[in-house]
Amino acid sequence: MPRPYEFSSMTALVCFEAAARNASFKKAAQEMNVTPAAISHQIKALEMDLKCSLFLRHHRGVELTEKGALLFVVIQRGFETISETLTQIRERPETVDVTVGATTAFSSLWLTPKISAFWK
C-alpha cells in the first residue's frame, strides 16, 4: 500500500531541523541526547534520499545550502503548526459540564423523565 505522504525518515527530518536550527551537529546531538555521529548519519541518509547536499561542512560547524535553507523553513513551519495544534488539544477539556437550573416541579415532572432518553 502506498504511503500517503512522500516523507523521508521522520527521524532524519527531526535531526535535520535540530542541526539546522543549531548550525551544529554537536549541539543537535546534545539536544536530542544522541551522538554527533548519529546526527551525521541521519543527515547523510536524508541527503542521499533527496539527492542533494543540505549542509556545507566546515571545520568548525555546518552551514545550510540553498536547498537546505528552503527545507529548514518548511520543516520549521510544519513543526510549529504541529506544536500549536498539540498545545490546543492539551488545553481543551475532554468533557464539558452542563448545568441546568429548574424549579423542583419542572425538574421532577418533566426533566427527570426525559434525562434517560437524552443519555441513550
Indicate whether 82 belongs to any domain.
yes
Residue 114 domain-assigned (yes or no): no
8 Å CB contact between 91 and 48: no
If one counts the domains in the chain, the total is 1
Distance from C-alpha of 91 to C-alpha of 83, rounded to nearest angstrom? 12
* Euclidean distance between CA atoms 26 and 37, whole angstroms: 9
pLDDT band at 10 (very low <50, low <70, confident <90, very high): very high
Range of the domain at 72: 1-91
State the Cα–Cα distance between residues 95 and 111, nearest whole angstrom: 22
Q: Is residue 107 part of a domain?
A: no
* pLDDT-above-70 percentage for the chain: 99
Q: What is the CATH number of the domain that holds 10?
A: 1.10.10.10
Own/partner pairs, 39-48, CB within 8 angstroms, 24+ separation: 39/15, 42/9, 42/11, 42/12, 42/15, 42/16, 43/12, 43/15, 43/16, 43/19, 45/8, 45/9, 45/12, 46/8, 46/9, 46/12, 46/13, 46/15, 46/16
At which residue does the C-alpha cell 437550573 appear? 101
Give the model confidence (pLDDT) of 57-103 as tens digits.
Answer: 988 889 999 999 999 999 999 999 999 999 999 988 777 777 888 88
pTM above threshold 0.75? no
Residue 8 within any structural domain of the chain = yes
